[in-house]
Chains A and B, each alone.
Chain A
Amino acid sequence: MSARRIFARPARFAAIAPYVWMVLFFLVPFGFVLKISLSQTAIAQPPYEPVFDLTAGWTAIRAAFAALGIDNFKLITSDDLYVFAYLRSLTVAVTATALLLLIGYPIAYGMARLPKRWQAVAMVLVIVPFWTSFLIRIYAWINILQHDGLLNQFLLALHLVSAPVVWLSTDTAMYIGIVYSYLPFMILPLYATLAKMEPALEEAAGDLGAPPWQVFWLVTFPLSLPGVGAGVLLCFIPIVGEFVIPDLLAGSNSLMIGQTLWLEFFTNKDWPVASSAAIVLLVVLLLPLLLYERLQRRQLEER
């Protein structure tokens, strides 16, 4: 038996603690969300009817299943508020992800073209804001975007506008906030694939007479698709459920699903409906993940 094999066994034992932890605090909680999403709303503490009591035995379990209902899901799919919240979340996520790709790609491309030593520096510079608090970075933008904030002062001083522009509590502010916060998540996977790419391929295309835009579109971009996929996924999924940025920067008239869920939970205290909303959100988000996985597997098979 090789040393590699011998080492594999204790390494498997290393999985026990994290495995148990993740099952207990990641997987099991979803069971509770599912259970409560199927239970009745009640004005109580906790604000839902318990529908499950293992100590009472089989009859209780049967009774519990009989009491489960999909009313909350019916409510969510028929209530315009929820339908609009899901649609808005998806629209915002698609738009923001497209913006991120447009802005992040040239930056990642520039990084990959730097001399090796400077690439490491640029990478640290991109990662550092990711370490800096999310909330603080959003708050920094409130400072800038508010009515008498620096952006308006700047625009007024340059006589680009004659009166202060309303930035805060608009979708523009929200998109600025989202792009700002998620930019490192887009740049890093893009940079990783672009830096690994063989420059000779681009040169060859150029030598064969392709103009730069054609080189980019027919060679560079297709080769960077794995990075594009990873970056898009890394940004899209969390943005759909985003709560803090739209809450602080966007107007209050149209809510995203993360905010609706939060309100349902903390303000209306309707836990079953909030749980159902969370389940639906989860299903919506699993779809792009599964699609991405299938695509990746197909790419591996082609190789």
Chain B
Amino acid sequence: MRKFSRLSRFNIASLALGLAFLYLPILILVIYSFNASRLVTVWGGWSLRWYHEFFGDRAMIEASWMSLRVAVASATIATLIGTLAAVALARGERFRGRTLFSGMLYAPLVMPEVITGLSLLLLFVALNAERGFWTVTIAHTTLTMCFVAVVVQSRLGSLDRSLEEAAMDLGCAPVRAFLSVTLPLIAPAIVAGWMLAFTLSLDDLVIASFTTGPGSATLPIRIYSEVRLGVKPEINAICTLVIALIAIVIVIASLASKLSSSQGKSAAPL
């Protein structure tokens, strides 16, 4: 009797409701970004008016450009360092301060952003660093490398170690074995990690607010200050563009992880 492992009506209903709850608001936002009416809630027919308005808004364009630059720079650095951290955690067995190391890597995942942002700002002030592009990039790198490390580590953990060992038994130096055997195998997870770091950086409001200087606002900071003043249809258009960009990123990342699952065991969770 397979009474309990079968999908019940309750299971299907809760799944369907849950997914509807997750997707409806975003769908509504996208639809209303094409609304011709100035009133956000009255439907006035399809129009690209608010997209035109966005591309004419210099402050918004500048903020978007700043956000993209920070996201690319911080995601790239975070992927490099985060991958190293993942290798150390997955293959390093025991080394001095390993507990502190893994603690520091996991803490930012749950730490309230207000605390992380505040502490980094105090550091930058103490170092007398000029706040702007680089301080935000460093702050975002610190946050996102932890996510990269988690994603890459889970892929490394599911990897068959005997492949590396075989390469070394055949006379390969450990570093070379890593570069020519392990790295290609975890490449999809690294790509997914970069994508995740990129979207997290693009999304961050709180840490960026603490670590940026005057005149270098990122897109979320701009959106936030506009939203506080009330709902504007232009914001719908900007948000839709960001969602579209992230959708493209997700498609690439999922292609990468599909590639990885066709090569080996199950892909990284993200």
Contact = CB atoms under 8 A, between A and B. Distances in A.
Max count, chain B CB within 10 A of own CB: residue among A135, A199, A243: A135
Contacts of B48: none
Nearest to B108: A26
A178 interface: no
A73 to B, nearest CB: 16
A32 B40 contact: no
A43 interface: no
Contacts of B246: 131-133
A17 B220 contact: no
Main secondary structure of the interface of B (DSSP, over half): helix
B92 interface: yes
Interface residues of A, number: 98
B243 interface: yes
B224 interface: yes
Contacts of A18: 81-82, 84-85, 88, 101, 105, 145, 149
Contacts of B36: none
A212 B4 contact: yes
B239 A140 contact: yes
Interface string B107-122: 1101111111011101
A155 interface: no
B177 interface: yes
B187 interface: no
A128 B243 CA distance: 11
Contacts of B262: none
B110 A150 contact: no
A66 to B, nearest CB: 21
27 contacts: A7-B164, A10-B178, A18-B88, A21-B145, A22-B104, A22-B142, A29-B123, A109-B14, A123-B269, A125-B22, A129-B23, A131-B249, A132-B243, A132-B246, A133-B220, A135-B224, A139-B223, A143-B25, A143-B28, A203-B3, A238-B113, A241-B112, A242-B112, A243-B206, A278-B115, A285-B112, A289-B110
What are the 8 tightest A-B residue pairs by CB atom distance, in nearest-first order? A241-B112, A15-B88, A29-B119, A18-B85, A106-B14, A199-B5, A107-B18, A11-B91
Contacts of B105: 18, 22
A247 B175 CA distance: 49
Contacts of B125: 46
A61 interface: no
Given A11-B87, A11-B88, A12-B92, A122 B81 contact: no
A144 interface: yes
Contact of B84 (A17, A32, A233, A247): A17
Contacts of A143: 25, 28-29, 32, 40-41, 231, 236
Interface in A124-147: 124-129, 131-137, 139-144, 146
Given A7-B168, A29-B123, A240-B112, A15 B101 contact: yes
Nearest to B27: A140
Interface in A1-42: 2-4, 6-12, 14-15, 17-19, 21-23, 25-30, 32-33, 36
Interface in A250-271: 258, 261-262, 265-266, 271
A125 B254 CA distance: 12
Contacts of A133: 199, 202-203, 220, 239, 242-243, 246
